[in-house]
Amino acid sequence: MQARKFIFLSILLTGGMLLALCIPSPAPALAQQSTGSIPTVTGTPGGPMVSVDPSLQQIDVYAGPSSFNYPAIGVLLTGVKVPALGRAREDADWIMIRYEGVPGSIGWVYALYVSLIGGAGGSAILPLMDSPPTPTPASTPTINPTLAAAFIAPQAATRLSTYTAPAPLAISNFTGQTQSPSRIPVGLLIFGFLFIGALGVVISFLRGR
């Protein structure tokens, strides 16, 4: 009797072990893996947000508030909303945004290409932010003088005109004219006329007496 019970328990244990081995194990869940090449953006509920203007498909995101002094670091697609952090102190047309996937998670967009959505109460007053330092170029371009000379057409030297001395200047010498010995001096004539006039006055005075 006991032998039968032992055999029966052995069969049950063996069947349970076989059944446990035949049951398939659940497949492991595959989680989404983050990629470093595609920036992801997250928003903060209640804070100021910016979104691309619906008339545009995408806009460039720059490392600073200028498309000339700072390089482009990514794009912002239509329909994506990102947190707005502030405006540039030097130019209020540039808005600082949170842009994940780049160093510092900071980017700048041109205000005319985006719509600003206010935070609490519908108002969006952004603080003024300082611009980041302008990146230094890796190398300063230099011009090879030999290569530049190959593209410059040689110019023939122009001979200057010879100097011609002017004619000598003739200086006139003015010499006084000598009086002829036969001509009476003018002063002597005047003195004679005065003397005759005075003599006539004296004679007229004496006759009147």
* Mean pLDDT computed over 49-78: 92
pTM, rounded to two decimals: 0.46
Q: Tens of pLDDT along 116-146?
A: 887 554 446 889 999 999 887 656 667 777 7
Higher pLDDT residue, 193 or 113?
A: 113
- Please tell me the predicted confidence (pLDDT) of residue 46: 59
* Mean pLDDT computed over 150-159: 73
CA angle 177, 183, 185 (to 5 degrees): 85
Domains of the chain, by residue range, sit at: 49-119
β-pair partners for 117: 49
Share of the chain above pLDDT 90, in %: 28
**Is the pLDDT assigned to residue 190 strictly greater than 80?**
yes
- Please tell me the predicted confidence (pLDDT) of residue 111: 92
49-119 classified as CATH 2.30.30.40: yes
Q: Which two tokens stand for residue 151?
A: 């593209």
Left if phi > 0, otherwise alpha if psi is -120 to 50, otherwise beta: which for 125? beta
